Amino acid sequence: MKKNIYFLATFLSISVPGIVFAAEDLLDIMDIFVLFFGYMVGMLGIAAVAAFFWGIAIFIMNTSDDKKREEGKQWMLWSIVALFVMVTLWGILGFISRSFGVLPSPLPPLG
């Protein structure tokens, strides 16, 4: 686990300054980060939906085991919380991209 954290820290410390200094102005930097976080929100949203269906599968397949059914409920509960967070971040990214004239988010508009 520590090796993964060290790898991520090293990767970010090398790549983020290169991205930031490659940009010509603040809007270019915001474009890069909005696009990056937009794609991350989309991928994490897909993972949350998959976790929800995993919870449903655990809940349905273990009708006789109350402990497993409770585990399925927990999977469903936390995946719904994660979906709520993803939709909230989606809205924040849309607000940022509309307010500052940044590139549109890679996610479809909310309205």
Q: What is the pLDDT of residues 33-75, one digit of tens each?
A: 777 777 888 888 899 999 999 999 999 998 888 899 999 999 9
- Determine, yes or no, domain membership for 51: yes
Tell me, yes or no, whether 63 lies in a domain: yes
- Split into its structural domains, the chain has a count of 1
Any domain includes 3: no
**Within-domain flag for 4:** no
Within a domain: 17? no
Which tokens go with 90? 């989606």
Please give the biggest Cα pair distance in the chain.
62
107 pLDDT tier (thresholds 50, 70, 90): low
Lowest mean pLDDT among 22-31, 73-82, 92-101: 22-31
Q: Does residue 103 lie in a domain region?
A: yes
* Domain membership flag for residue 19: no
Q: Are 102 and 82 in contact (CB under 8 A)?
A: no
In 3D space, the residue among 95, 83, 21 whose CA is nearest the CA of residue 55 turns out to be 83
Q: Where in the sequence is the domain holding 90, given as residue range(s)? A: 25-111
Question: Does any domain span residue 102?
Answer: yes
Tokens of 64: 């006789």
Question: Whole-prediction pTM value?
Answer: 0.65
